[in-house]
Amino acid sequence: MTYRVEALSDATFPAFEALVRKHNGIFGGCWCLWFHEQGGTGSHEGNCAAKKRLVEQGIAHHALVMNGDAVVGWCEYGTPVELPNIYHRKQYDASGIEPTDYRITCFFVDRDHRKRGVAELALGGALDAIAHAGGGSVEGYPRHDLDTKKMSASFLFNGTLHMFERAGFERVADLAKFRCIVRRTVAQAH
């Protein structure tokens, strides 16, 4: 298969929506809204409309992995203002680390395209987009306990530590029992 990365936009939203609907709203109807300030509305149609509004306003960013005209996965990223919600907020605030310029909050891969490098390609696409937007510090919140247990893909929505490390991130702090904070600096693209 030949994959390419495109940005979530008005033009790509219908393909994004098709993948979300194929998977019943992603994680019980989330539509990748939880990390945004307003979160979801609770209904599939309301969440779809809310996500579309965020895309139209330019405050929902995803590196979409495309296979032809279909979205097969993505990586959600944005500034802390755009994505203020994170899991384990109390532990994060207690970590004492400096604020970051960008967050990578969520990954999703179509069940028919898993174990083919889609999430890693999406991460690379997000980092490229961040570089073109001026670069800066970027952090993610992956699981770090996968050496000792097999994990359902539904629990890997923040990615894996190994994937982030392959992309040049370093572990800087732990969050709760199974998650950590990883960081790297992305240079501005010329």
Tens digit of each residue's pLDDT (9 = 90 or more) over 145-166: 655 555 555 556 788 899 999 9
- Give the predicted TM-score (pTM) of the model: 0.92
Mean pLDDT value of segment 97-112: 94
Separation of alpha carbons 91 and 39, rounded Å? 21
Q: Given this model, what pLDDT does residue 137 score?
A: 98
Q: Given this model, what pLDDT does residue 46 score?
A: 87
Other beta carbons within 10 Å of 85: 15
Separation of alpha carbons 150 and 2, rounded Å? 28
Mean pLDDT value of segment 49-66: 95
Mean pLDDT value of segment 3-7: 97
Q: Given this model, what pLDDT does residue 157 score?
A: 76
| Contact status, residue 79 vs residue 133, Cβ threshold 8 Å | no
Q: Which helix (H) or strand (E) holds 104?
A: strand 102-109
Class of domain 3-186: alpha beta
Tokens of 2: 């030949």
pLDDT-derived band at 175, boundaries 50, 70, 90: confident
| Contact status, residue 8 vs residue 55, Cβ threshold 8 Å | yes
CA angle, 181 then 183 then 188, to 5°: 150
Its sign, for the CA torsion 81, 163, 14, 33, is negative
With pLDDT > 90 as the criterion, what percentage of the chain qualifies?
62
Closest by CA position to 49, among listed 33, 71, 34, 36: 33
Pairing of strands 3-7, 170-175: unpaired
| Alpha helix positions (H), 38-160 | 44-57, 89-94, 118-132
Separation of alpha carbons 184 and 164, rounded Å? 9
